[in-house]
Chains A and B, each alone.
Chain A
């Protein structure tokens, strides 16, 4: 067993010491952070400088609009619409809102001119302002007291609490988390599986395999590589975890103005406020210990399941590496299909497809990780989770056994092209 430890050590160190390891490990979270921060910063910047020129032909709206933070309205009376439409940018406006003469019963013909695509927030602000002015005018016409209406208007918030019969709880948080963890799993399995395969191919093509096999059993060589690369993956997760924690501690410092702004904007929109509240509530509700534990389990289980098969395919390689492309198809296909099921499972985590795909080991690492954020044991009963884990453990034991038998023959087979059909015969050949 000392030997397998030596092999694990070499596989681990030879990868971790490479400069590319450091680059990839640091670049991935930076890319993630950039994906979150840059849009937020950009959104913040564009909001703070949105000035809308308004030409009100009806005269009904003048001075009635509320400036919200980041969006300012300027009513213009001394310019013609056509010239303003052409020159608004020169005067420092982001766009022009044209309000025609309207019929209070059927208001229509509001137009907004801008070279840039109007943001959703801006659209909301403009329509909200228009609607509230029209509502107020209609109340006046119909003799309704606005103060009374305000008193009547209800403003309740629902508290979301844990409950067993929360069946279709595809809330935003579990949706996002399910997607993120499922697709992280997808990339990890493909990435690390191919890494194992390339390592095995290198050993075979370099002919080091024969030297190695005269010192260690083929199975030790294969498992050493698989475990060594798994350790690289776990180290990467650990670094990302630490970076994530550091980042989340540092983030409020950088994000505070934007965060305030988005909270403010959400405040002007009850639906958004509700969503934000629900989202943060759901994030808090997720059992993080269970989630992280399951993620690591399904990463390791799925990785062992697939990477041993990738190792077997790698052992079939020859000097001509192009053959290997088509031989990996039986392995990449189930992973890709799983990612399609994953999309369905996130939307409907209790559908039969999602349930069964989260139990079959070919797809369970992706699909189960998509379902778990929706709630355990609410959406995913304990028996399903347990069954899925047991099947995955059985799955990787079987796949490692099969792979070991293909590998030990393939790794020393030189010269001729090996077909998958021939390789399957090795599985059941006598030792």
Chain B
């Protein structure tokens, strides 16, 4: 079931088309990665989903119903890329204020604040002012204030920036917990290794257009280039490697990267090594990383735009 359905969303500014006819669906409980270079229209897209901006045209359906920014805000938790807190306000008071604005009553909010403070070991700085905290601590405060009202849809824009590995892991674990409990998460980032690690599903946007979208596994499959790596016990001589089944892309220490030629199969490669009596230690397919897909696709659209 789809928690969020976005249909033909458009937002034009005087000078450019920030979001130009983008459609996608997000399944309930999934972690959805929104990728794109700077200025691709990610923030505008997120701001429309959070109700900050109204789209020029198109529909946003939340739980199958039209998204109503006034009433559905409680269903959404948004942590913008540029973090913001009232600097002179005590931490606990600040979270309480933001929670109340999301419609939580004071008692529930305070109970949850205590719960999170315990979990993140922040009890000692509940009454400190925000500007007395380190960047990483502020980040945790921001995270708690984003999820305190237990939103159905959580939107995180670069949630790990400025966090050390320990806190980064803490937040990551929390994201998985929330996801397992049924929270749907939109995750916007530039850091591709995190996308592969965290996201089930991704969408790549550039210049206001959707370039591709699908599951992480599927996309890597779709963009594979027939590359394989084979490990050898003894380095063979050049004559032993001559075949029409593959071409050698690179030679490393006791391993080769090969490109499978069309009309050949992986078994042809293995048979060749066996017949040449080269001992094989391992054999694996090389799938493109999301990062490589990202760069190649962005460059492709840039080139298209340049030639058009």
> What is A's interface to B at a CB cutoff of 8 Å?
3, 6-7, 10, 14, 202-203, 206-217, 412, 414, 431
- Check if B101 sits within 8 Å of A3, measured CB to CB: yes
Q: Which residues of B contact A217 (CB under 8 A)?
A: 70
Are the C-beta atoms of B83 and A214 separated by less than 8 Å? no
Q: In the assembled complex, how far is the CB of residue A131 from the closest CB belonging to chain B, in whole angstroms? A: 67
CB–CB A211/B87 < 8 A: no
Bound-state CA distance A249–B80 (Å) is: 57
The answer to the question of B97 belonging to the interface, with a C-beta cut-off of 8 Å to chain A, is yes
**Can you sample 17 A-B contacts with CB below 8 Å?**
A6-B97, A6-B100, A202-B87, A206-B86, A206-B87, A207-B82, A207-B83, A208-B85, A209-B84, A210-B52, A210-B82, A211-B80, A211-B98, A211-B145, A212-B101, A215-B101, A431-B54
| Contact, CB under 8 Å: B52 / A214 | yes
| Residue in contact with B52 in the complex, picked from A10, A14, A213, CB distance below 8 Å | A213
Most buried by B among A10, A202, A208, A412: A208
Q: Does B47 contact A (CB under 8 A)?
A: yes
Contact B51 A207 (CB under 8 A): no
Q: A208-B85, A211-B78 are in contact. List 16 more A-B contacts (CB 8 A).
A: A6-B97, A14-B89, A202-B87, A206-B85, A206-B86, A207-B80, A207-B82, A209-B84, A210-B52, A210-B80, A211-B85, A211-B98, A211-B142, A214-B76, A215-B102, A414-B82
Chain A residues within an 8 Å CB radius of B80 = 207, 210-211, 214
Report chain B residues within 8 Å CB of A215: 73, 98, 101-102
CA distance A212 to B89 in the complex (A): 15
Alpha-carbon distance between A217 and B101 when the two chains are bound, in angstroms:
11
Residue of B at shortest CB range from A3?
B101
- Per the 8 Å Cβ criterion, residues 180-236 of B in contact with A are none
B55-88 toward A: CB 8 Å interface, digit per residue (1/0)?
Answer: 0000000000000001001001011101111111
Given A6-B100, A431-B54, decide whether A214 and B78 contact each other with a Cβ distance below 8 A.
Answer: yes
A211 and chain B: residue at smallest CB distance: B84
The answer to whether B98 and A10 have CB atoms under 8 Å apart is no
Least Cβ–Cβ distance between A414 and chain B, in angstroms: 8
Identity of the chain B residue whose Cβ is nearest the Cβ of A430 in the assembled complex: B56
The answer to whether residues A214 and B84 also contact, given A6-B97, A14-B89 and a CB cut-off of 8 A, is no
A412 touches B100 (CB 8 A): no
Residues of A within 8 A of B84 (CB): 203, 206-211
Contacts of A209 in B (CB 8 A): 84
> Chain B residues near A214 (CB, 8 Å)?
50-52, 73, 76, 78, 80
Bound Cα distance from A3 to B97, whole angstroms: 10
Pick the most buried of B87, B89, B100, B142: most chain A CB atoms within 10 A of its CB: B100
- Residues on B with beta carbons closer than 8 Å to the beta carbon of A10: 97
**Distance A317 CA – B44 CA, assembled complex (angstroms):** 20
- Chain A residues in 8 Å Cβ range of B98: 211, 215
Cα–Cα, bound, A202→B130 (Å)? 14
Residues of A within 8 A of B47 (CB): 412
Q: Identify which of A3, A211, A216, A431 gathers the most chain B CB atoms within 10 Å of its CB.
A: A211
CA distance A208 to B70 in the complex (A): 19
Q: How distant is the Cα of A207 from the Cα of B82 in the complex, in angstroms? A: 6
Residue of A nearest to B54 (CB): A431
- State the 9 A-B residue pairs at the shortest beta-carbon distance, nearest first: A207-B84, A208-B84, A215-B101, A207-B82, A214-B78, A210-B80, A214-B50, A206-B84, A213-B52
Q: Which residue of A lies closest to B73 (CB)?
A: A215
Of all chain B residues, the one with the shortest Cβ separation from A216 is: B101
Q: How far is the CA of A215 from the CA of B95 in the complex (A)?
A: 13
- Is the Cβ of A14 less than 8 Å from the Cβ of B83? no
User: Is A208 touching B52 in the complex (CB atoms < 8 A)?
Assistant: no
Render B92-124 as a binary contact track against A, CB cut-off 8 A, 1 for contact. 000001101110000000000000000000000
Contacts of A210 in B (CB 8 A): 52, 80, 82, 84
Give A9 Cβ to nearest chain B Cβ, in Å: 9
Among candidates B82, B85, B101, residue contacting A6 with C-beta atoms closer than 8 Å: B101
Please indicate the chain A residues that have their CB under 8 angstroms from the CB of B70 in the complex.
217
A208 neighbours in B (Cβ, 8 Å): 84-86
Q: How far is the CA of A307 from the CA of B180 in the complex (A)?
A: 48
User: From residue B87, how far is it (CB to closest CB) to chain A in Å?
Assistant: 6
Which residue of chain B is the closest to A412 with respect to CB atoms? B52
Query: Which B residue sits closest to A5, measured CB to CB?
Result: B100
Q: How far is the CB of A59 from chain B (nearest CB, A)?
A: 78
> Which residue of the partner chain B has the closest CB to A409?
B53
Identify the closest chain B residue to A10 (Cβ).
B97
| Chain A residues with CB below 8 A from B52, complex form | 210, 213-214, 412
List of B residues within 8 angstroms of A206 by Cβ: 84-87
- Measured between alpha carbons, how far is A210 from B142 in the docked complex, in Å? 12
Distance from A297 Cβ to chain B, minimum over Cβ atoms (Å) = 31
Q: For B50, list chain A residues within 8 Å (CB).
A: 214
